[in-house]
Amino acid sequence: MQKEIETLLNNQIKLEGTASMQYLSMASWAEENGFNGIAAFFYKQAEEERMHMVKLIKFVNERGGKAIIPVLDNIPDKFDSVDHLFSTFLESEQKVTNHVNEIVFQCLELKNYTVHNFMQWYVAEQLEEETLARTILDKLNIIGNDKGGLYLFDKDLETFEIEQEEN
């Protein structure tokens, strides 16, 4: 494996690990504040990001590289509101998307089509994640400061999580 690509993949491993821990922190905040549906959503997101990280670790090792298990920076644990949670969620996903795109670009530059092909799954996944984050933020904008709307939104996310598990 080319060193440049290995470095980029290890950076992606760290981004996925950071996102996982950040989403755990967000789930905990939501749970502490009585938003069980939002907490369930972020617990699921945290696990998904962890799986993305593990997939990358295995890939790097299988391709003859050395995956580096990241030491994570301080993860924020204070949030101002539900809106803050989901705007942070979108920002995190955009950061991951930008880095995925950088890896794909470098793969093409270095003619590393094996890693390029592997990364296409991440390209599609990031499209889904950003769309989900934007859709949720749109719904929160519609709700505004309506506590009843926020209550129903939380319940909808709880139902969404149950439906996702069944599929």
What percent of the chain has a predicted confidence (pLDDT) above 70? 95
By mean pLDDT, which of 24-28, 31-35, 156-160 is the weakest? 156-160
Confidence class for position 106, pLDDT limits 50, 70, 90: very high
130 annotated binding-site participant: no
Residue 139: both structure tokens together: 């719904």
99 annotated binding-site participant: no
- pLDDT (average), residues 142-151: 92
Q: Looking at residue 148, what is its pLDDT? A: 93
16 annotated binding-site participant: yes
Q: Looking at residue 76, what is its pLDDT? A: 87
84 annotated binding-site participant: no
CA atoms within 13 A on the CB side of 16: 23
Residue 103: both structure tokens together: 């890896």
Domain span holding position 158: 3-166
Q: 75 pLDDT exceeds 60?
A: yes
Contacts of 85 (CB under 8 A, 6+ apart): 26, 29, 30, 38, 42, 79
The number of domains in the chain is 1
Q: For residues 136 and 114, what is the distance between their CA atoms, to the nearest angstrom?
A: 35
Q: 129 pLDDT exceeds 90?
A: yes
Q: Looking at residue 163, what is its pLDDT? A: 53
Q: 160 pLDDT exceeds 80?
A: no
Q: 131 pLDDT exceeds 70?
A: yes
Q: For residues 98 and 89, what is the distance between their CA atoms, to the nearest angstrom?
A: 14
Q: For residues 134 and 137, what is the distance between their CA atoms, to the nearest angstrom?
A: 5
Contacts of 117 (CB under 8 A, 6+ apart): none
Instruction: Say what the alpha-carbon torsion angle 124, 126, 127, 128 is, to the nearest 10 degrees.
Output: 90
Confidence class for position 68, pLDDT limits 50, 70, 90: very high
Q: How far apart are the first and last CA of the chain?
A: 37
- pLDDT (average), residues 139-153: 93
Q: Looking at residue 48, what is its pLDDT? A: 96
Q: For residues 46 and 53, what is the distance between their CA atoms, to the nearest angstrom?
A: 11
116 annotated binding-site participant: no
Contacts of 151 (CB under 8 A, 6+ apart): none
CATH number of domain containing 14: 1.20.1260.10
